[in-house]
């Protein structure tokens, strides 16, 4: 169970710090208005992901006994984690997109809903993890995983908003650079773990 909590924490922090439209919008709102505005946007993934997570849990509950499916989605999830690891590793700094419109929390919801990232994450990574949790533990552990993931995801974006409000140098500094490299390493480790998990289903 501890492994799943650490995985949720790693995935959440990695998603929270990763550059992208929503992260850019969090920073933009903070710089143009205040930290509170950036924090509001940081909470938008919780709302956007609700239907995706519900569908994932329903799917997991129906096919959690299929070892072939568990193996396949574990391999797919591993491949996607390696991709995320590579993306995190090559990040040097956050680059702001000045073309993102300034429309507060509601625009944050739209940006999150139109981004492919949450859909790809829950299809390729979230579902196999939920399946494995249900297979080995219970629905309570699923809830703990989700809670840990979103606390770390939102918390990371709130931290970015706070640091952007204090100093732009954090976004281009060595601390952010090394954080992303460390997260890339952890994601690669969990990708390897998913491969072994997938192999375990056919033994």
* pLDDT for residue 156: 93
Amino acid 138: pLDDT:
83
User: Rounded distance, CA 59 to CA 56, Å?
Assistant: 5
Torsion over CA: 164, 167, 170, 173 (sign): positive
pLDDT at 34 over 70: yes
CA distance 186 to 157: 19
Contact 24, 13 (CB under 8 A): no
Average pLDDT for 26-40: 82
Q: Is the dihedral of CA 76, 81, 79, 198 positive or negative?
A: negative
Q: Global pTM?
A: 0.78
As a whole number of angstroms, the distance between CA 41 and CA 125 comes to 24
Mind spelling out the 3-state secondary structure of 143-170? HHHHHHHHHHHHHHHHHHHHHHHHCCHH
Report pLDDT for 147: 93
Report yes or no: 1 and 126 within 8 Å, Cβ to Cβ: no
Question: Measured between alpha carbons, how far is 153 from 131 in angstroms, rounded to an integer?
Answer: 21
Neighbours of 19 (CB within 10 A): 20
Quick one: DSSP state of residue 123? I
What is the tens place of the pLDDT at every residue in 59-86? 766 766 667 777 777 788 788 888 888 8
* Residue 153 pLDDT class (50, 70, 90 cuts): very high
pLDDT at position 151 is 95
> Count of CB atoms within 10 A of residue 20's CB?
16
Task: Please give the Cα distance from 23 to 47 (Å, whole number).
Answer: 16
| pLDDT bracket for residue 33 (50, 70, 90) | confident
Cβ neighbours of residue 15 under 8 Å, at least 6 residues apart?
Answer: 117, 121, 153, 156
């Amino acid at each position: 169970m501890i492994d799943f909590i650490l995985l949720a924490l790693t995935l959440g922090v990695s998603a929270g710090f990763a550059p992208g439209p929503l992260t850019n919008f969090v920073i933009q709102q903070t710089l143009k208005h205040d930290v509170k505005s950036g924090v509001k946007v940081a909470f938008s993934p919780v709302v956007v992901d609700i239907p995706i997570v519900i569908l994932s849990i329903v799917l997991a509950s129906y096919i959690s006994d299929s070892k072939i499916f568990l193996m396949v989605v574990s391999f797919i999830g591993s491949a996607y984690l390696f991709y995320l690891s590579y993306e995190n590793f090559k990040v040097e700094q956050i680059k702001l997109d000045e073309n993102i419109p300034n429309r507060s929390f509601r625009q944050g919801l739209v940006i999150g809903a139109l981004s492919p990232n949450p859909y790809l994450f829950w299809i390729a990574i979230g579902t196999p993890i939920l399946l494995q949790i249900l297979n080995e533990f219970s629905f309570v552990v699923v809830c703990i995983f989700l809670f840990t993931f979103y606390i770390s995801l939102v918390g990371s974006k709130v931290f970015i908003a706070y640091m952007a409000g204090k100093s732009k140098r954090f976004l281009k500094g060595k601390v952010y650079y090394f954080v992303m490299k460390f997260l890339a390493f952890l994601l690669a480790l969990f990708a390897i773990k998913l491969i072994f998990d997938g192999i375990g289903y056919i033994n």
